[in-house]
Structure 1
Amino acid sequence: MLAEVAIKNFAIIESVTVSFQKGFTVLTGETGAGKSIIIDAIHLLVGGRGSSDFVRHGADKAEIDGLFLIDDDHPAIDKCSEFGIEIEEGMLLLKRDIYPTGKSVCRVNGKLVTITILREIGRTLVDIHGQHDNQEMLNEKSHIHLLDEFGGETIKNALNEYQAIYREYTKVKKDLASLNENEQMMAQRLDLLKFQLNEITAAELKIGEDEELLAEKKKLSNFEKLFTSLTTTYEALQGEQKGLDWLGLALTNLEEAQTVDEDLKEMHDVVSNSYYQIEDIVHTLRDKLDELEYDPNRLYEIENRLNIINQMKRKYGESIESILEYCAKIDEEIEMITNRESHIETLNKKLQSIEKDLLVEANNLTTLRKKVAKKLTDSIHKQLKDLYMDKTVFEVNFFEEENVEFRPNGIDQIEFYLSTNPGEPLKPLAKIASGGELSRIMLALKTIFSQHQGVTSIIFDEVDTGVSGRVAQAIAEKIYSISVNSQVLSITHLPQVAALCDHHFFISKEIKDDRTLTSVKVLSEQERIEEIARMISGTHITSATEEHAKELLELASQFKYQHN
């Protein structure tokens, strides 16, 4: 859920911090008080289009911070992981700063991200629905995904089966397209590959060769320093009156001393071990010095060889391993091009076989989708009936195509169609009437899909405009039912909606030092009664409107008790 949002220097808001709870929250207040500005800020926080107009006059920048609390299986976790963003203890902190120049700086859990990444993550967290917004549900391209989400595991498993074969299908098609390039291009490609193969083969590269050569070059380049150091070390240890001689003298005397004092045995053993270890080192040093030989020609050979290896790395890979891998790859491609006709025939046969399997899975997916579409249609008709739109007809339209086209999600093209009045033809959802009618239709759809989309918070920005009476009550009950599965925030002018909320915020504004300031207040039970009474009657509150407000709250409590 959205736990907290902090807004600073945004439009008429100087500084506001709002903490939200689970369930159903409403924001009410006079027109122009700043209710929609708060929703605008949340919209920008999750990747909405920014503008310098949002920066409060005279401020350096507008700042919006939002804290989201998410479960371990929330889709935002995979999305953040995709962009290398860590989430700890289920907390996701989004931050967006907007400057007077129009520039935006976005962060997710402290990491700088682009507006595109912020939008990708934000899409999994918040769904803002306003009366005139172009929502996902109005976009016909998303309808197949919504239907699949409604279908649950049944569709998911069938889609996975289809997509596994589809991936192989696209690979074979890509290989065929590559082989079907024109003769001239293929000939040029073959010449290039043969040149590269010959060049790499002639280099006779061996894995680990460069490391060995670098180590040898280091020794030869520092031969004098190495020879002097080893000689000095050897002469310090070996010879009359040198280190090993004195250590031997110490060992001889300790051998005699331990016969008198047994406590010296441990000391004797340590010195004895040291003597023989250093004696071994002296022998090794002597052999090493005998082996040392400076060969300037060898250094020249090493530098030439390393130069060849580095040239290969610049052309074909960062390491000898990757160069040899590339060599094997182009060797396969050369064989493929050389025997092009044979491979084309083989791939065509393979493609035909895959297409048959793919069509079986695609038809199975279509059959399942049509069954799910019927269930979805029945569910939406029930929701529309609850909203007093029982004459409205909803249909999931499957477009029939003459030629089957395999797509990532199957062969189906799907769009939601609707007819709001008897006798009228079904039309695409995106082209239906607006106003209160559209609000109810979208609310019905939202009620169904909110249980499947996994969005943390759903925000309704005055979706109840243009309705009243029993329809208003039906909308209120429908919004509340959505809040059972998702956190819901709603800006409303309807007392019926406000009465059903779990948390009520009052938005107001005042003039201070010739500047407009917006403030947010959590209403107590008595203050809720007064605010709902104001919403019922306008500015003048009477005892009758207060009683009406109390009655609305009582009815709301009964409704919530019955539906929990």
Structure 2
Amino acid sequence: MLISLEISNFAIVNDLNIEWRDGMTAITGETGAGKSIAIDALSLCLGERADAGAIRPSADRAQIVAQFNIQQLPKAQQFLKEHMLNNDEHDCILRRVISRSGRSKSYINGVSVTASQLKELGEYLIAIHGQHAHQLLLKTEHQLHLIDAYAGHTHLQTAVKNQFQHYQQLQREYSTLLKEQQAKAAQQQLLEYQVAELDEFSLEADEFKQIEEEQYRLSHSQTIINTCQHELMSLYEQDGTTVLSQLQHSAQQFNSLTSVDSSLSNIAQLLEEAVVQVEEASREIRDYADQIDQDPLRLQEVEDRLSKIMDLSRKHHVRPEELYEHHQSLKAQLDNISSDNARIDILEQEIAQTLSAYQQAALALSDSRSQSAKKLQKLISASMDDLAMKHCKFAIELQPKPELRPNSEGFDAIEFLVSTNPGQPLQALAKVASGGELSRISLAIQVIIAEKVTTPTLIFDEVDVGISGPTASQVGKLLRKLGKSTQVICVTHLPQVACSGHQQFFVSKKVIKGETFTSMKPLEDAHRVDEIARLIGGESISETTRASAKELLAIQAA
């Protein structure tokens, strides 16, 4: 529950510190005094959008601090634990600071957080029902929200939302691939032609280098043979003097000299090794020359293939040595397009499966809504009797429409129907209900929802607009009854509702040296009687209005 609220330099509030109690608290005050300022400040402290215009003109920043007791709030405790914001106490302190620049800072238990985190935590702490709630009641999406809030089937809503998000994700991927497929259709035809042409040519890795070398060798085969034969004759086979015979002679000469000078043995050894090397080289030259094949047909084949490589390279705008890699790249691009086509087929199956799962989840949600709608319809009808609408009939028309386009809320179409006079058919709220009737229906729903939802603090900001007399008295009793199990804070202008509070605050304002100051203080005993008397009779308070106030306080508190 809310324990305290500190407001500094917010709107026309200079400095305000309010201690709150359990039960029902009524807030009253003069018109324009700022009865809802505390609610507005609290909304800001719970993560609502900050506005530099809310800062008091004479100040540089505004600050709101709210303290809550969360001892009985496991969801709030779990949130704090998950975000490492918990402390050893049962209290939770929220703080919001707004600077003149428009920037704001948010804190939970002294730790800096985002405004969205404040808002998420705030949902476990307070529910605010504003004075325009009855206008929201005319919107079908809000009507559906009320059914869900009463049903409390969050797990079913989450299942529908998750399936819808998965469905959306698959649809986006499917749409993207289809667009890409259309864009790649012409490219695919070109790739298929190019890859088929290169596949037919079937160039191997490094083949260009190998075939280029073979072509050069074949085209110079006669020169190679002539050179080999000439050099072989000089080295080894020529009659008379050869390189080999000269080396052998030199080796023998130096070998004979080693007996005279042993230091010449190294030279003799080198010459003997040279003899061996020349003999080995000669054998390899002879073997190589024997293998040289002057094959004009092979040369033609090689030159034709080399010419084809050059033609294909020019055609594909790559260098000859890059043609093989280019071929592999084109094949990879074509494979990717083919895999995209296969993914499209798979996606179509996945989308159908996900849509089926979504429809099953939405149907389960629809069944739960239908059951809750029947219960809520009876409760609202009973509350309408209490709110001086005895001849009114209320119904909730909920129709599953699986043919609707999938969305995160399911496929239910909803309509709140009412008949305000006997003999009249049920019709949509917007067509039948007056402003006062709409306010009462809205209030009845809010009270019922509040009893069902476990939010520890409920704030009703002038939700009693458009009602008076016995109806106002009944509204007060409803809120007081609600205050026995939940902390209720109600901003009101009706004496019957104000009397129902277990305690009451009075809001006033005064102008000092051209500046407006708002204050808010608790009323006790005689002061509360005077305030109720003012609400009954206006600014002129008489003994008669005081007596009426005392009587009303006694009746509403009974």
| TM superposition score normalised by structure 2 | 0.63
Q: Equivalents in 2 of 1:47, 1:173: separation in Å?
A: 34
The answer to which of 507-516 and 366-375 deviates more is: 507-516
Deviations 1:75-104 (Å, cap 9, x if unpaired)? 55566677x461334433222233444443
Distance of aligned partners of 1:409 and 1:548 in 2 relative to their CA distance in 1, 3 Å threshold: same
CA RMSD of aligned residues (A): 3.8
In the alignment, what sits opposite 1:87? 86
What aligned pairs does 1:93-242 form with structure 2 within 5 A after superposition? 93-132=93-132, 139-152=139-152, 155-156=153-154, 173=171, 176-177=174-175, 179-183=177-181
In the alignment, what sits opposite 1:452? 452
Give the aligned residue type for 1:32.
G
Deviations 1:163-221 (Å, cap 9, x if unpaired)? 676666556556645654433666999xxxxxxxxxxxxxxxxxxxxxxxxxxxxxxxx
Distance of aligned partners of 1:134 and 1:538 in 2 relative to their CA distance in 1, 3 Å threshold: closer
> Quick check: 1:480 aligned with 2:485?
no
Secondary structure class of the residue paired with 1:35 = coil
Deviation at 1:473, TM superposition (A): 0.5
In the alignment, what sits opposite 1:260? none
The answer to which of 342-351 and 438-447 deviates more is: 342-351
In the alignment, what sits opposite 2:238? none
In the alignment, what sits opposite 2:8? 8
Q: Equivalents in 1 of 2:45, 2:493: separation in Å?
A: 25
The answer to which of 168-177 and 96-105 deviates more is: 168-177
Equivalent pair of 1:131/1:435 in contact (CA under 8 Å): no
Q: Equivalents in 2 of 1:546, 1:160: separation in Å?
A: 54
Deviation at 1:447, TM superposition (A): 0.9
Give the aligned residue type for 1:509.
K
The answer to which of 3-12 and 96-105 deviates more is: 96-105
What aligned pairs does 1:54-453 form with structure 2 within 5 A after superposition? 54-71=54-71, 73=73, 75-76=75-76, 84=83, 86-88=85-87, 89-132=89-132, 139-152=139-152, 155-156=153-154, 173=171, 176-177=174-175, 179-183=177-181, 338-341=338-341, 344-349=344-349, 351-353=351-353, 355-356=355-356, 358-398=358-398, 401=401, 403-421=403-421, 423=424, 426-427=427-428, 435-453=435-453
Give the aligned residue type for 1:60.
D
Q: Equivalents in 1 of 2:46, 2:522: separation in Å?
A: 24
Distance of aligned partners of 1:148 and 1:78 in 2 relative to their CA distance in 1, 3 Å threshold: farther
Give the aligned residue type for 1:377.
Q
Q: Identity over aligned residues, as a percent?
A: 35
Equivalent pair of 1:379/1:448 in contact (CA under 8 Å): yes
Deviations 1:358-379 (Å, cap 9, x if unpaired)? 5444334323322221111111
Q: Which runs of 5+ in 1 are unaligned?
A: 190-332, 559-564
Q: Which runs of 5+ in 2 are unaligned?
A: 189-332
Deviation at 1:347, TM superposition (A): 4.8
Deviation at 1:448, TM superposition (A): 1.3
Q: Equivalents in 1 of 2:336, 2:474: separation in Å?
A: 67
Q: Equivalents in 1 of 2:359, 2:132: separation in Å?
A: 40
Secondary structure class of the residue paired with 2:36 = helix
Secondary structure class of the residue paired with 1:182 = helix
Deviations 1:334-366 (Å, cap 9, x if unpaired)? 988645555544554455455445544433432
Equivalent pair of 1:125/1:457 in contact (CA under 8 Å): yes
Give the aligned residue type for 1:556.
Q
In the alignment, what sits opposite 2:545? 545
Q: Equivalents in 2 of 1:365, 1:133: separation in Å?
A: 25
The structure with the largest alpha-carbon Rg is 2
In the alignment, what sits opposite 1:195? none
Deviations 1:472-523 (Å, cap 9, x if unpaired)? 1111112223323432111222221122111111223344455443333222
- Count of matched residue pairs: 413
Give the aligned residue type for 1:87.
N
Equivalent pair of 1:443/1:478 in contact (CA under 8 Å): no
In the alignment, what sits opposite 2:504? 504
Q: Equivalents in 2 of 1:409, 1:336: separation in Å?
A: 37
In the alignment, what sits opposite 2:23? 23
In the alignment, what sits opposite 1:555? 555
Give the aligned residue type for 2:29.
G
Distance of aligned partners of 1:31 and 1:375 in 2 relative to their CA distance in 1, 3 Å threshold: same
Give the aligned residue type for 1:182.
E
Equivalent pair of 1:85/1:108 in contact (CA under 8 Å): no
